[in-house]
Structure 1
Amino acid sequence: MTEVVVFPRFFLSYVPESAAEVVLEAIYTSTVSLIRQYKVLVTPPLNGLILPGITRDSILALTKQWGKFEVREEVITMPQVSQLLNEGRLLELFGTGTACVVSPINRINYMGTNLYIPTMEQEKPIHETIRETLTGIQYGKIEHPWAVTID
């Protein structure tokens, strides 16, 4: 479980003029993704700060193949995260990357306020399904065209 403290100068590629411009993109070496109510997966677009990594690409491809929810690449702002939380529409927030594969986030300290994310409160968290599927493919437990057995 990852707890995130958002420092605009550290996590962002620019210093925002106002709190409304604070964009949540990456935590250390992980790309941030969120799940909104009505099953929408949102991840930041490639913009120079986000690397076009294999884990990110694989997760986007897998989730699109499943067809169980909409997958979008769009900017995620902290005011948007706050609003979704206040409306009860933010279901999960997680980081993805080569080292962590998928890591759930349960809290963000933003401008001195703790925002608690209900990631681990979901009956069947989507981030767990993503992690189990991707690592299952990587370790040969799940047959998939991306995994090739070498004799």
Structure 2
Amino acid sequence: MKILVAVDGTKYSREAALWAVKIAKKEKEAKLIAVYVERQLSKEDYLLSDDELDIRIEKKANEIFEKSFEDIDLEGIEVEKVVERGSPASKILDVSDREDVDLIVVGNSSRSGINNFFLGSVSDKVFTYSVRPVLVVKTREKEPVIETVAIT
């Protein structure tokens, strides 16, 4: 089973990573594809060469991957890290198609009101436009416990 989990360094994506790992541990030969999408560039980024920008984004992505999976037991799970640039929802959907994943796991920041209406959330867009199963994870106060998972 291939599980894509979107990470961005927030507590919401950390919760998504936790759920993705818990589901992967219940499956035989599970592969986790962690995707980080660099959405915006700063003014300073435009002054960098392409190589310097790639190095900066790669460093930031590695920090986010480390933070997202810190203290999570990944024993027995293959993890592939993917870094993209652009619109997060579009890139997550692109990677899910390219990698032919069985499940997409994303965190939900629970935004509401006018900001969500105009901007839309990544989880909403992924859920709406994906042709694959999507698990949208809300943040909880305590660690989730999964007894059984059936995906059909």
TM-score (norm 2): 0.32
Higher strand content, 1 or 2: 1
